Structure 1
């Protein structure tokens, strides 16, 4: 066990306490508590407008909360950013930006490259290896805007892999992708989990939750339920989260 692993022992990779966020006068999250488990895949699920994406952005410091605390391995997330990788929603990315696939992946190595951003042969090899892991090795020189939605999602996952993080936060990684891409992405995420990494993903397809994830966090502005899938993912918790009849 490495010194870092020893220091992390018993600490949550991402812990949220009393998080409240508002956009103007409109509350989005109210007093949310969440605790992730090391080496597990957690799905954040809830209806549209429940605050799922806002929760991730607040954890990353992109959105400033009104109150509450977020920590990573017992420290403020700002001190652990080199250990956290983030894959945003595809809709939030400017796909017209003129850059190649390989350059997008290299952006994930900015801490390795330093201020001068000097890219060496080993960096290109590492980026190519990450593309291979997501099945995009033959598209390295393609313009990112020329790819399909599923291919773009794979490239952004490759960029996250290049960061060599310990915690991966993904905002709807399966939205708008084909079945082959979804299978490829979940295989990579399961591989990360099996390697001891922690994965947290906003997810919308309730039918795949038991097959894809170990734990769930149900939210509708406030936390509704949290725990292992076989305990927390029940008709009762889904009813409380979504209201009305929910069929899985």
Structure 2
């Protein structure tokens, strides 16, 4: 049996001085595409930030390909929430994407033509090569999200972790992003994304983690994306008919 791309064991996180995630055990197999879903305040983003060391763990551990994050970080690409980024920072689109190459170039940032060429290839993959010289802050929200995905592509990771990649983007950007993510999965990469639109889960993902401060369920859609688990995770936030319709789309 192969080592999972990410294993969380007993992960407990406090965020902003308040308990957010309790003793979560989840495994993300290599080559899978997983949505982390749950109501607002369920700790979805906090869980990932804890795994990546962005916020400290109170208990438990996260293992990436069987290793600590420090030892595996060059194999992991992270796309943060767009709302958490300072878009006033004076940087061109091409500069932002080449930041994904720092592990290769080092802090001296001795970029060569081949690095720029690679960055341009990543921008082309997300349909943003024509914007390479634009200031990042001058782009629309959807365009900014595409650029950050291009930066993750430049890192050439094996595991891609995305925190709400479709939040606040237009339909064309959402289609472009999911097409790239499905291509990555077809190449054998692993995708983990915090996701809010339950209606697209069956179309976009093959696995799901349902979270509401604790793990409610996880696994393939047909096992985890069920009426019982959705109701347990969301409680009265979802109408019974809505839950039934969502679960019926998997089968």
Instruction: Please indicate, yes or no, whether the TM-score normalized by the shorter chain is above 0.5.
Output: yes
Aligned residue number for residue 17 of structure 1: 9
Whether 1:187 aligns to 2:187 is no
Aligned pairs for 1:150-169 (under 5 A) are 150-169=142-161
Whether 1:59 aligns to 2:51 is yes
SS in 2 for 1:227: strand
Whether 1:141 aligns to 2:141 is no
- Residue 31 of structure 2: which of 39, 46, 52 is its match? 39
Query: 1:25 deviation in Å?
Result: 5.0
Aligned residue number for residue 125 of structure 1: 117
Q: Work out the CA distance in 2 between the residues paired with 1:21 and 1:94.
A: 25
Q: Work out the CA distance in 2 between the residues paired with 1:10 and 1:157.
A: 27
Aligned residue number for residue 79 of structure 1: 71
Aligned residue number for residue 88 of structure 2: 96
Deviations 1:54-85 (A, max 9, x none): 01101111111111011011111111000000
SS in 2 for 1:68: strand
Q: Work out the CA distance in 2 between the residues paired with 1:183 and 1:67.
A: 38
Query: 1:23 deviation in Å?
Result: 3.0
Aligned residue number for residue 5 of structure 1: none
Check conservation: 2:128, 2:143, Cα contact below 8 A: yes
SS in 2 for 1:71: strand
Check conservation: 2:37, 2:209, Cα contact below 8 A: yes
Aligned residue number for residue 249 of structure 2: none
Aligned residue number for residue 203 of structure 2: 211
Query: 1:38 deviation in Å?
Result: 0.7
Deviations 1:202-240 (A, max 9, x none): 000000000000100000000000010122101110100
The alignment of Structure 1 onto Structure 2 pairs a total of residues equal to 240
Q: Detail structure 1 runs of 4+ shifted over 3 Å in the superposition.
A: none
- Of 21-30 and 42-51, deviating more is 21-30
Distance 1:101-1:241 versus aligned 2 partners, 3 A rule: same
Structure 2 unaligned regions, length at least 5: 247-251
Structure 1 unaligned regions, length at least 5: 1-8
Q: Work out the CA distance in 1 between the residues paired with 2:199 and 2:29.
A: 22
- Of 72-81 and 126-135, deviating more is 72-81
SS in 1 for 2:30: coil
